[in-house]
């Protein structure tokens, strides 16, 4: 199956037009006020309305209250809620019940032992997102930092996962070859500045993923 691509942290109508043209599978909308990619409810609704019918909408939340879950649901009617905070398995279960949609649980990875967290969430998460562990005081995601992809050889759960953290057009082919991930998630790696998506970088990233799927090298780009 082709690798699914999620572009996260979309902030402008032009971003959506690029994703539609490139047939990107998942669009991520950030509902976290500390992020430079944060969206108001109205703004998120406007962007989500531009998604082509086949595109899956993802609402990113960090330790959300019930009201924040309800707001995200009302804004974009997401296919997935991505939880990027310290939510316990019990809280994830409550959010899943409240939102009545699939859950992506983000888990920070620094060592192979961090993958053991997945077992705690196996009953409540549909997918996982493996991202680099942020530095103290850093944002929970979107920092552009990679982790050692070889750690994922220790993953033994049945849930599919998205690979995130420091991905770019230049390294995603190698990341996929090492991790064998079926989905990738990128935000800062396709930006000119935090919250400013770059159409050319998005196109280059999508092209690199598609070429990795077919095993076709990009002779115009060196790893």
Report the C-alpha gap between 156 and 45 in whole angstroms. Answer: 37
Residues of the chain with pLDDT > 70, as a percent, come to 92
Three-class SS of residue 207? helix
Give me the chain's average pLDDT, please: 92
Average pLDDT over residues 169-196: 95
Q: Is 81 exposed, middle or buried (0-12, 13-18, 19+ CB in 10 A)?
A: buried
Per-residue pLDDT, 135 = 63
Residues of the chain with pLDDT > 90, as a percent, come to 86
| pLDDT beyond 70 at 152 | yes
156 band by pLDDT with thresholds 50, 70 and 90: confident
**Choice between 154 and 219, residue whose per-residue pLDDT is larger:** 154
Per-residue pLDDT, 137 = 62
Q: Does the domain formed by 4-214 have CATH 3.20.20.70?
A: yes
């Amino acid at each position: 199956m082709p690798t699914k691509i999620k572009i996260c942290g979309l902030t402008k109508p032009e971003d959506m037009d690029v994703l539609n043209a490139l047939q990107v599978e998942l669009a991520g909308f950030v509902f976290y006020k500390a992020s430079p990619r944060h969206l108001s409810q109205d703004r998120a609704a406007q962007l989500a309305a531009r998604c082509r019918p086949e595109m899956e909408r993802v609402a990113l939340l960090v330790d959300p209250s019930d009201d924040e879950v309800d707001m995200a649901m009302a804004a974009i009617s997401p296919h997935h809620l991505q939880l990027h905070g310290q939510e316990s398995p019990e809280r994830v279960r409550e959010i899943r019940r409240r939102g009545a949609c699939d859950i992506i649980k983000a888990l920070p990875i620094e060592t192979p032992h961090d993958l053991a967290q997945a077992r705690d969430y196996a009953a409540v998460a549909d997918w996982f997102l493996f991202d680099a562990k942020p530095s103290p005081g850093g944002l929970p995601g979107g920092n552009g930092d990679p982790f050692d992809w070889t750690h994922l050889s220790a993953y033994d759960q049945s849930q599919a996962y998205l690979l995130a953290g420091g991905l770019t057009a230049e390294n995603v082919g190698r990341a996929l070859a090492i991790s064998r991930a079926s989905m990738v998630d990128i935000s800062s790696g396709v930006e000119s500045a935090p919250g400013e998506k770059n159409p050319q970088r998005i196109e280059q990233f999508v092209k690199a993923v598609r070429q990795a799927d077919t095993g076709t090298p990009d002779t115009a780009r060196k790893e």
